[in-house]
Structure 1
Amino acid sequence: MCGFIGLLKAETEMLGATERKEFENRLNIIDYRGPVDQGYYEDETIIFGFKRLSIIDEVSGHQPFAYEDDRYWMVFNGEIYNYLELKEYLQREGIDFMTESDTEVIIALFSKQGVDCFKQLRGMFSILIWDKQAQCLYGARDPFGIKPFYYKETEQGTFFASEKKSLLSDSEQIDQQGLQHYFTFQYVPEPMTMNQKVHRLEPGSYFIKQYNRPITHFRYFQLSFHSKENTDNQWVDKIQSTLDQSVQMHMRSDVPIGSLLSGGIDSSFIVALAKQYHPNLKTFSVGFEQDGYSEIDVAKETADKLGVENYSYIISPEDFVEKLPKIIWHLDDPLADPACVPLYFVAKEAKKHVTVVLSGEGADELFGGYNIYHEPDSLRVFESIPTPVKNLLARVASVLPEGVKGKSFLTRGTTPLRQRYIGNAKMFEEKEKNSLLKTYHQDYYYQNVTAPLYDKIGNEPAVHQMQYIDLHTWLRGDILLKADKMSMAHSLELRVPFLDKEVFQLAREIPVNKKIANGTTKHILRQAAQGIVPDHVLNRKKLGFPVPIRHWLKNELYSWALNLIQESQTAHILDKEVVFDLLEDHCMDKRDNSRKLWTVLMFMLWHQIYMENKFDIAELQSEDKTESKLVDVS
């Protein structure tokens, strides 16, 4: 697990001392991604910088990596889990290897197959390959977007990096479309960022940039569904064997490995399978002092029954607020998912014991784990209602006061799926954004993001359409963003066995009635977990990382929130009176505005860090030295 920066220069010349120092500073700002080793390569056309966190072949995996008499130079962030199998294939083809690293396997495969090689990689990755002979740069990102990949066109040339902060300058401007979408989705949807000139390479794609020519993008992996019929027993067998193989491959490491453990089925399933290959597996959990917002007791019970060590960390409101600026700085863009905070703390504690952790991200998107996926079934009654009657019901719902029982049901039932569902979170409606944002632009409608996705998947059942939307928005914009940034903030590699190509190829074939059934989500995955996962976990309500912001914003965090609103220099962007009203209505229990408030507050904090330069970046970048409250509850 590593970090890189690259520059394909606009002019063919070596960097001067000033430009070289600036480039080194851009790399050093992400030192935490790879504190073990660093390296540079420069010729007249390109320069690469690399920070390494050694996981496989700690001795000889140095990057930038040269291959074929220095024709190819490569930097690579991630892990290729099938590198041993690919290496055996290449050796049968007569290729010799100098190292034991997965890095050499990638470049050897590229040398033989070109861009077709990306289809064969089973893992998480962002890759840059410079063909010095052809004067051509190639870049690729893994199918799900587990690893980040940013780029930016400048007068100096085209920059590429693992983190956006490596690409920023003093003259950055907010991307107005990204800003507006943030207040809908609670994150900036890819390929946009909150900064106007910085973009992200989309998952499952690669680019080719010939020197002094425009960059061209290509897709090598498409997400789709293709339902097949099997008995429950057949599905169970397939899930168990495929996931077991994925976990086994994800445990390939030359450094200590552990696993995150919540109170849910996903992480428990991963831990139960991982223990077969690592009997001394350590697990890590997190919770809050507030009653009802901790899964530590359940995680401890799970760990006891699985026979693994478990360590937990209790987060106080003071911890929470103290680390927020550091967390937002690491995220690069504002993210209004409070779950990034407990993830930051559990990663911090895990790093004290291991260098790699497994985690359960992706199971909900692949196997139908969100409660909202029940909605199409609950609204099925509207399918038989004639259109004129539905239009009448929609008008009735529109005039009913907020909070009236049945209003939401009528509204959802009379609204087409593609208009009502944009992913797992929807913060502000367009009318609300128009009041909140002084920069509101009617052309930046949120459906600009989701409509093209619905056009591609519109013939699938409603639940598959919702999964498709989540895989392309929520998963990469929220779930994987915080997983990468919060773990790498502590130089910890986080691996996600559910987000494996072979697991996806299986999940895409499972019909909806096997995912959503008997009043549960992930129905067939739960069956597959029986006898492997402890019974107390199998049918628990999904919580994820619950965070008590609803309570805290009325009490412990009220003064902090009020001060942030007052001090934030965002009056040219936001109507602060609207924000103050949200806070006061929430505190007076008129309505629960906690998630909307949190969305505004995280933008304001991001603005203070990245636009107002209110915080000392060296302090935000520094290693977290706070005193541990680690408790061994094994």
Structure 2
Amino acid sequence: MSVDIESLRNILTLRYNPNSKSKLLKIGYDDFLLKSRENDVLIVENLLKNSISNYIKSLSQNRITLALSSGIDSVLILTLIRELFPELKITCISAGFEENDEEVNAAKEISRIQNCDFKQIHLENFLNNLPKQISIIKEPKWHYYWYFLAEEAKNHSSVLFTGDGGDELFGGYVFRYENFLNSFYNKSTWIEKTKQYLNCHNRDWVQDQNQMFGTKVGFSWEKIYQNFQKYFDNSLTPIEQVFFADYAGKLMHDWVPALDKIHSHFGIIGISPILDDEIIKFSCKISPEKKYNLKTNQGKLILRKISQNKKISINNSKRGFSPDLISFWKNYGNKITQIYLKNSHVSKENYINESWIITSIEKANSNDIRYINKLLSVLSFEIWYRLFITKEIDSDYTLL
């Protein structure tokens, strides 16, 4: 294995490589053009039920596991599964980063109401086994806490259901939409819209991104922008362009393929009913105002309506499956970074600028979360390098 410069440049700037292969259904801007005039809420509910029913009937299992948070996607999937298969044995698994995580507690109560078993995972130093995670993903990335959830799921069933895809297909990233649309003007070029879109993902890169890379990489923002022309240089409305870019970005080229590799490693089947091909196709035909309301800044309107019809309580304050990185940095991240990035291989080989690492550690120590994110990405590259290039560590090596 060798260092693919283009992939490295993309992964360390966008968090994913837009040129990587993915099994997820490929869509184009023309898929958004023909709008549905039917009862979208009823159609989506029926499509979800068909997806769930077809998957479960195809399995020779009397027990499944389900990744459960307190958010709308996984709670709706659990509710529909229980409605269709009232006798099915289900173990719900929820992961938290704090001892008394409110979202985990809420998920536990939801699991009880739906007559399911419940397992809780507490993740503290979730990067200690980073070599194992990277050996599975085979890319220099660090944000796969899902490893631990899949590991627990294996103890209960060989089938793991998720609510993945709800944000991308039905308009869940409201904080980004509001930012993008409020900064948008009608005559913006595709490059200007790309820059604004990337500003809505500013934890993935830093202001001195070009200074991070060494001479071997040849970084330029123009090369990064070219990845987004197909999303923003077309006749779609601005919000639909964002929907298009979100689906064909991290979901297609980061999250889904990575989870497939993790599931395969543990010998389990991962099932995401929302990402059924028919649901993906239909979601493109839903008018954007039926997904997201700019005035109220509320998204997933169709999924919310289905949930309301079924009297499902929705946690609108859900933080998502992500840690408090500032606390993690203080407890573990700073120490790990100091050990592996000072006199690192990736700086000695001129992939990463060593002086940038030093100044960025200072910024991270001042609680700059963007630099914490970026240093952890560079750390993952160093660990990847030691696994696959120098081969001085193996997958069972622990960082602390």
Normalised TM-score (structure 1): 0.56
Quote the offset at 1:578 in angstroms: 0.9
1:272-296 per-position Cα deviation (integer Å, ceiling 9, x unaligned)? 11112253222111112366x6621
Match of 2:44 among 222, 226, 239: 239
Match of 2:95 in 1: 286
Structure 1 residues 246 and 532, CA, compared in 2 at 3 Å: closer, same or farther?
same
Gaps (5+ residues) in structure 2?
none
Match of 1:561 among 324, 337, 355: 337
Match of 1:307 among 115, 120, 124: 115
Is 1:316 the counterpart of 2:124 in the alignment?
Answer: yes
Cα contact 1:553–1:594 (8 A) shared by 2: yes
Quote the offset at 1:324 in angstroms: 1.4
Match of 2:183 among 366, 379, 400: 379
Quote the offset at 1:438 in angstroms: 2.8
Cα contact 2:165–2:275 (8 A) shared by 1: yes
Cα contact 2:165–2:274 (8 A) shared by 1: yes
1:310-345 per-position Cα deviation (integer Å, ceiling 9, x unaligned)? 21111222xx23321101111111224x2x12x111
Which range moved further: 494-503 or 443-452? 443-452
Match of 1:597 in 2: 375
Following superposition of structure 1 onto structure 2, how do residues 209-248 of structure 1 map, counting pairs within 5 Å?
A: 222=28, 224-226=31-33, 228=35, 230=37, 234-248=39-53
Match of 2:161 in 1: 358
Cα contact 1:290–1:548 (8 A) shared by 2: no
* CA distance in 2: counterparts of 1:423 and 1:189, whole angstroms: 18
* CA distance in 2: counterparts of 1:591 and 1:345, whole angstroms: 24
Match of 2:285 among 503, 509, 532: 509
Cα contact 2:206–2:370 (8 A) shared by 1: no
Structure 1 residues 230 and 327, CA, compared in 2 at 3 Å: closer, same or farther?
same
Quote the offset at 1:305 in angstroms: 2.4
Normalised TM-score (structure 2): 0.87
Following superposition of structure 1 onto structure 2, how do residues 186-197 of structure 1 map, counting pairs within 5 Å?
A: 186-191=15-20
Cα contact 2:211–2:356 (8 A) shared by 1: no
Cα contact 1:334–1:602 (8 A) shared by 2: yes
Quote the offset at 1:611 in angstroms: 1.2
Quote the offset at 1:602 in angstroms: 1.3
1:234-278 per-position Cα deviation (integer Å, ceiling 9, x unaligned)? 222112111111111121201342211112111111111111225
Quote the offset at 1:526 in angstroms: 0.8
* CA distance in 1: counterparts of 2:249 and 2:199, whole angstroms: 7
Is 1:448 the counterpart of 2:226 in the alignment?
Answer: yes
Cα contact 1:181–1:187 (8 A) shared by 2: yes
* CA distance in 2: counterparts of 1:345 and 1:539, whole angstroms: 24
* CA distance in 2: counterparts of 1:610 and 1:453, whole angstroms: 34
* CA distance in 2: counterparts of 1:460 and 1:325, whole angstroms: 42
SS in 1 for 2:342: helix
* CA distance in 1: counterparts of 2:190 and 2:9, whole angstroms: 26
RMSD value, Cα: 2.8
Cα contact 2:65–2:157 (8 A) shared by 1: yes
Is 1:270 the counterpart of 2:77 in the alignment?
Answer: yes
Is 1:184 the counterpart of 2:10 in the alignment?
Answer: no
Structure 1 residues 610 and 430, CA, compared in 2 at 3 Å: closer, same or farther?
farther
* CA distance in 1: counterparts of 2:224 and 2:78, whole angstroms: 38
Quote the offset at 1:480 in angstroms: 0.5
Cα contact 1:187–1:477 (8 A) shared by 2: yes
1:70-97 per-position Cα deviation (integer Å, ceiling 9, x unaligned)? xxxxxxxxxxxxxxxxxxxxxxxxxxxx
Which one has more relative contact order, counting CA pairs under 8 Å at least 6 apart?
Answer: 2
Following superposition of structure 1 onto structure 2, how do residues 92-131 of structure 1 map, counting pairs within 5 Å?
A: none
Cα contact 1:435–1:578 (8 A) shared by 2: yes
Following superposition of structure 1 onto structure 2, how do residues 184-583 of structure 1 map, counting pairs within 5 Å?
A: 184-191=13-20, 200=21, 204=25, 222=28, 224-226=31-33, 228=35, 230=37, 234-251=39-56, 252-255=58-61, 256-275=63-82, 276-277=84-85, 279=87, 280-289=89-98, 295-317=103-125, 320-336=126-142, 338=143, 340-341=144-145, 343-371=146-174, 372-379=176-183, 382-383=185-186, 416-422=192-198, 425-426=201-202, 427-428=204-205, 431-442=208-219, 445-455=223-233, 458-517=234-293, 518-532=296-310, 534-535=312-313, 538-566=314-342, 568-571=344-347, 572=349, 573-583=351-361
Is 1:584 the counterpart of 2:362 in the alignment?
Answer: yes
* CA distance in 2: counterparts of 1:294 and 1:545, whole angstroms: 12
Structure 1 residues 533 and 485, CA, compared in 2 at 3 Å: closer, same or farther?
farther
1:443-501 per-position Cα deviation (integer Å, ceiling 9, x unaligned)? 6710222223434xx21111111111122221122210232122222111111111112
* CA distance in 2: counterparts of 1:607 and 1:189, whole angstroms: 21
Structure 1 residues 585 and 312, CA, compared in 2 at 3 Å: closer, same or farther?
same
1:370-391 per-position Cα deviation (integer Å, ceiling 9, x unaligned)? 12123344336x44xxx8xx9x
2:77 partner amino acid:
I
1:377-413 per-position Cα deviation (integer Å, ceiling 9, x unaligned)? 4336x44xxx8xx9xxxxxxxxxxxxxxxxxxxxxx9
**Structure with bigger gyration radius:** 1
Quote the offset at 1:514 in angstroms: 0.9
SS in 1 for 2:160: strand
Quote the offset at 1:520 in angstroms: 0.7
Quote the offset at 1:533 in angstroms: 6.1
- Report the structure, 1 or 2, having the larger strand content: 1
Percent of pairs identical after alignment?
Answer: 22
